[in-house]
Amino acid sequence: MGSMKIGGKLDIYLNKLISIEFSDRKKIISGFLLDYTEDWILLKTNPADYLIDGYIIVRNKRIDEVYQDEQEEFAEAVISLKGTTPAYNEKVPLENIQEIFRYLDSKYEMFAFTKKSEKSIYPGRLKDINDKTIRIEWIDTRAQWVGERKFKLDKIRTIEFDSDYLNSLKLASEYYNQ
């Protein structure tokens, strides 16, 4: 099973709250569609109900469906009433994964990613990246920088940044590791 051909299909969803379902994952990802390329989709994340928190870049791989049903339309309306509809005023370079990570490292200093299995999230900061692998300095749940880990780039499915969780870890690491 290959990638869903998203081509111009996503244009109708720009700046709207959508959900993405995958053929090989249980978790549905929801958020406001901000930008996309053939390989990547950038969302302002809607992790639950009427909450907006952080961003997620989704690899366009094994996507079954991208949609906006009544539930997403209602949540979008409520978020709009709250005045928290995201304004997209920065351009994350979605051309390739190396540029994505370099940009996030320079602008946010920290990011997290998941691989095919959604059981683990890997938060950290960039140490090195090439055509095949990324090496990150990994941060644990107690905001301690606990060493380096290396991952294959083609195994990465989602990249998260600027969320409350990651910003809290970053703040705690700066405070407790002075």
Three-state secondary structure readout of the chain: CCCCCCHHHHHHHCCCEEEEEECCCCCCEEEEEEEECCCEEEEEECCCCCCCCCEEEEECCCEEEEECCHHHHHHHHHHHHHCCCCCCCCCCCCCCHHHHHHHHHHHHCCEEEEECCCCCCEEEEEEEECCCEEEEEEECCCCCEEEEEEEEHHHEEEEEECCHHHHHHHHHHHHHCC
Residue 85: the pLDDT is 86
Structure tokens at 169: 């870890």
Residue 8: the pLDDT is 60
Residue 169: the pLDDT is 96
Q: Which residue has the tokens 């995958």?
A: 22
Residue 131: the pLDDT is 97
Which residues neighbour 131 within 8 Å (Cβ) at sequence distance 6 or greater? 98, 153
Note down pLDDT in tens along the chain; length 178 residues.
Answer: 344 555 568 989 999 999 999 888 888 999 999 999 999 999 999 999 999 999 999 999 889 899 999 999 999 999 999 998 888 777 899 999 999 999 999 999 999 999 977 678 999 999 999 999 999 999 999 999 999 999 999 999 999 999 999 999 999 999 987 7
Residue 107: the pLDDT is 95
Domains recognised in the chain with CATH numbers: 7-82 (2.30.30.100), 97-176 (2.30.30.100)
CA distance linking residue 154 with residue 72, whole number of Å: 30
Structure tokens at 118: 């959604």
Residue 7: the pLDDT is 52
In Å, the largest CA–CA distance within the chain is 49
Residue 5: the pLDDT is 53
